[in-house]
């Protein structure tokens, strides 16, 4: 994350099964200032949304359906609609199209899970620092265009080889690396192996046009968090980023 001071506003709606204290404590440790407001009822949530700007809304899935619809309708009608995340005990209950929400996340049961959720919330609204590594200038331009069309904001840097990537990562903070599998010199797997030793927390997405099914297995074994086979599209990138952020996408109902 960038060091620029940016404040985000979050509204937490509903209370059943949501540890508010854990969320507040996690928000205080978020990578950016995160102001958290709370609303126990749908009428209160709708009123708060109408009165002020919010970047993120966390909605307890235990809310009655009519209350849920009231809150989401109000959120969608905002001049700048917030990113709406449903909090659920069981993510399998919510396949695409079952809720009008941008994503569903598991209700945090511990402090560490609450911190991960807050970090994901920030990443939905504040650019993640992303390093793209590919030896082809044409492919870098194409992937950059695709990344720029993602629903998630990203601040993109780029380089053409693995060693340069390792040097850039050593000098600066990156959240995500999109790494080509086939590169001259230090290839993708070798770069990833070194990266896992020096910067184990960075999320790494391996990209390749190689149709061999064993390529993905080798990439996963080397420590890749996700895998994209070229050609890929903005929806494919979004699906990967949802997963990296610990969120599950949801198509809007209707």
Q: Can you give the pLDDT at residue 2? A: 47
The answer as to whether 62 is a domain residue is yes
Question: Does residue 210 have a cis bond before it (omega within 30 degrees)?
Answer: no
| pTM, rounded to two decimals | 0.85
Q: Which of 84, 105, 126 finishes a domain? A: 126
Q: Which of 126, 143, 172 finishes a domain? A: 126
Counting the structural domains of the chain, the total is 2
Residue 156 structural domain: 128-244
CATH number for 137 = 3.40.50.2300
The answer as to whether 252 is a domain residue is no
Same-domain check for residues 191 and 217: yes
Same-domain check for residues 58 and 100: yes
The three-class DSSP label of residue 241 is helix
CA distance 69 to 94: 16
Per-residue pLDDT of the chain (254 residues; tens, 9 = 90+): 444 556 899 999 986 556 778 888 898 888 888 899 999 899 999 999 998 899 999 998 888 889 988 999 999 999 999 999 999 887 776 654 556 889 999 888 888 999 999 999 999 999 999 999 999 999 999 999 999 999 999 999 999 999 999 999 999 889 999 999 999 989 999 999 999 999 999 999 999 988 888 888 999 999 999 999 999 999 999 999 999 999 988 754 44
Q: Of 150, 158, 138, 131, whose CA–CA distance to 233 is shortest?
A: 150
The answer as to whether 251 is a domain residue is no
Same-domain check for residues 117 and 139: no
The answer as to whether 240 is a domain residue is yes
The answer as to whether 236 is a domain residue is yes
The answer as to whether 144 is a domain residue is yes
The answer as to whether 95 is a domain residue is yes
Same-domain check for residues 182 and 239: yes
The answer as to whether 1 is a domain residue is no
CA distance 140 to 119: 28
């Amino acid at each position: 994350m960038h060091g620029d001071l940016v404040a985000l506003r979050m509204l937490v709606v509903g209370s059943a099964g949501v540890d508010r204290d854990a969320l507040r404590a996690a928000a205080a440790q978020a990578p950016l200032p995160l102001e958290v407001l709370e609303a126990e009822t749908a009428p209160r949530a709708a009123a708060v949304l109408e009165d002020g700007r919010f970047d993120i809304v966390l909605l307890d899935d235990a809310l009655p359906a009519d209350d849920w619809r009231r809150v989401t309708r109000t959120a969608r009608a905002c001049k700048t609609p917030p990113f709406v995340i449903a909090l659920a005990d069981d993510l399998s209950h919510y396949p695409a199209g079952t809720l009008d929400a941008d994503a569903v996340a598991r209700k945090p049961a511990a402090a560490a899970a609450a911190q991960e959720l807050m970090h994901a919330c920030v990443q939905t609204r504040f650019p993640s620092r992303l390093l793209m590594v590919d030896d082809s200038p044409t492919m870098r331009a194409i992937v950059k265009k695709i990344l720029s069309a993602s629903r998630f904001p990203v601040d993109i840097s780029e380089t053409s080889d693995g060693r340069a990537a390792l040097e850039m990562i050593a000098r600066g903070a990156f959240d995500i690396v999109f790494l080509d599998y086939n590169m001259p010199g230090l290839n993708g797997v070798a770069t990833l192996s070194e990266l896992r030793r020096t910067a184990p927390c960075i999320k790494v997405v391996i990209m390749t046009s190689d149709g061999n099914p064993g390529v993905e297995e080798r990439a996963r074994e080397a420590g890749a968090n996700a895998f994209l086979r070229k050609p890929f599209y903005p929806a494919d990138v979004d699906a990967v980023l949802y997963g990296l952020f610990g969120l599950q996408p949801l198509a809007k109902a209707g």
